[in-house]
Amino acid sequence: AAKCVDVVVVGSGGAGLAAAIQAYDDGASVLIVEKMPTIGGNTIKASAGMNAAETRFQQVKGIQDSKELFYQESLKGGQNRNNPELLRCFVENAPEAIEWLATRGIMLNDITTTGGMSIDRTHRPKDGSAVGGYLVSGLVRNVNKRHIDVMLDTSVSDIIVENGEVTGVRLTTEENETVTVTTKSVIVATGGFSANSQMVVKYRPDLDGFVTTNHKGATGGGIALLERIGAGTVDMGEIQIHPTVEQNTSYLISESIRGGGAILVSQQGNRFFNEMETRDKVSAHIIALPEKYAYIVFDEHVRAKNKAADEYIAKGLVTSASSPKALAEALGMDHHAFLATLERYNGFVEKQYDDDFGRTTALRAPINEGPFHAIRIAPGVHHTMGGVTVNPETCVLDSDHNVIPGAYAAGEVVGGIHGGNRIGGNAVADIIIFGTLAGHQAAMRSKKPG
Ligand code: ADP
């Protein structure tokens, strides 16, 4: 069977869904192709939230923020290796992306912080649920309302280029049939490659043996797809390990737990680093511990505000006890050391400054309300910052930095925005900001005559 649409979107994570909705709203006919049996990609697992500065929701809460500060902190967190042009575009368009979601019934109006940010700018659903599930279900609602076609269990196996321009894609369907779709615009939103251990180890031999937090579709196939039509790549060795991953289940313990006031404690019962530092640094300090793991510790006060915590309890990942002493005993930890750690930390909360490790954010409340909770964690492969090269209009660039007409890319498949380390909350911002931009660009191209 042959098909013809204005825009083909490859991948149904946040970037793909946002792109599809925007392209449709700009008047294009759209097809979404997803290789997995379910919608949502890795986005559905996103937990922290969506960063943006100078938003309406920050204003309502009296949070003073600036785009410039957001830019500078993302650059510093990225070890100054972010593509400045892409990062500038990202920061500039973030508040609009928050509004884009709000006008489509997706409200991220609770605000917290993540490692490396000095101000509360991580936007979350008000009911305390994880951002990923909330976001994907909201986007899917919008896709359905528009009757946008979604083909599941179908992968894009080739992008067809004729006379230097995209003219179509080849799909391999569930029944293993090959279908050619004629189109002028393809948006590749296939995510990263954290779940492809061979590819990870190829670029980063030091990550051999690490667990991954990602869904199994995160294999980097979209990068190969674009490389075959000449796309350049950048930063392929920049792979983020997330510091707080439960190792038996590879379950990521959301940064929003630390953002809500949790601390990290070693097997010896001591804090060892600023929990609100960036992921690269926190991970490095956990790996440097003699046991190479630590515990994330929080009290009932933190649990009550974060639905993810209940999920961790339900999954059996949490050790809970009525008193700090009982918790230390349950963890096989010296309780004198642990009690002293809590007392010292609670003193820092009171004066809003951490003399030991310089934590200045999320010193929210003393850890003193039972029951007390702990999850044993260690780092896991989480995000691939590298990927294909694009310009700020999301046009894919070849290795000489020339646009490949008709090829767009958005989301984790793209390299450069996050430099050497992605800030928590910047991936969800990335997929909505650049997903909608890609949708708009692709729709505009499809309307041009010829
Ligand atoms: P992002 O956060 O950038 O949107 P996600 O990981 O959330 O990325 O989503 C990417 C989606 O793309 C996943 O659901 C994945 O299964 C899908 N995907 C990857 N490669 C292909 C392909 N060749 N054809 C169709 N879908 C693909």
Q: What is the pLDDT of residues 18-73, one digit of tens each?
A: 999 999 999 999 999 999 999 999 999 999 999 999 999 999 999 999 999 999 99
220 lines ligand 1 (CB under 6 A): no
**CA 143/CA 17 separation, integer angstroms:** 7
| 133/114 Cα distance (integer angstroms) | 19
Radius of gyration of the chain, Cα coordinates, nearest whole angstrom: 22
Report helix, strand or coil for 171. Answer: strand
Whether the complex's predicted ipTM surpasses the cut of 0.85: yes
Residue 280 to residue 234: CA distance in whole angstroms = 19
Phi/psi at 214 (nearest 5 deg)? Answer: -85, 160
Q: Which two tokens stand for residue 181?
A: 């779709």
> Is the CA virtual torsion 382, 418, 204, 41 positive or negative?
positive
Binning pLDDT at 50, 70 and 90, where does residue 449 land? confident
Task: Supply the pLDDT for residue 200.
Answer: 98
Nearest to 176 by CA among 207, 154, 148: 154
Checking if the pLDDT of 450 tops 90, the result is: no
Q: Is pLDDT at 128 greater than 90 in this prediction?
A: no
How far does residue 118's CA lie from ligand 1's centre (Å)?
32
Active site residues: 279
E strands in 338-437: 372-384, 387-388, 395-397, 403-409
Buried b (16+ CB within 10 A) or exposed e, 72-82: ebbbebbeeeb
**Cα of 14 from ligand 1 centre, angstroms:** 9
- What does the pLDDT look like over 164-193, one tens digit per residue? 999 999 999 999 999 999 999 999 999 999
Cα angle: 294, vertex 45, 220; to 5 degrees: 100
Q: Is the CB of 286 under 6 A from ligand 1?
A: no
HSE-up of residue 445 (Cα within 13 Å, Cβ side):
26
- 431 in contact with ligand 1, CB cutoff 6 A: yes
pTM: 0.95
200-249 tens-digit pLDDT: 999 999 999 999 999 999 999 999 999 999 999 999 999 999 999 999 99
Q: pLDDT tens, 413-441?
A: 999 999 999 999 999 999 999 999 999 99
Question: Token digits for 433?
Answer: 């900001």
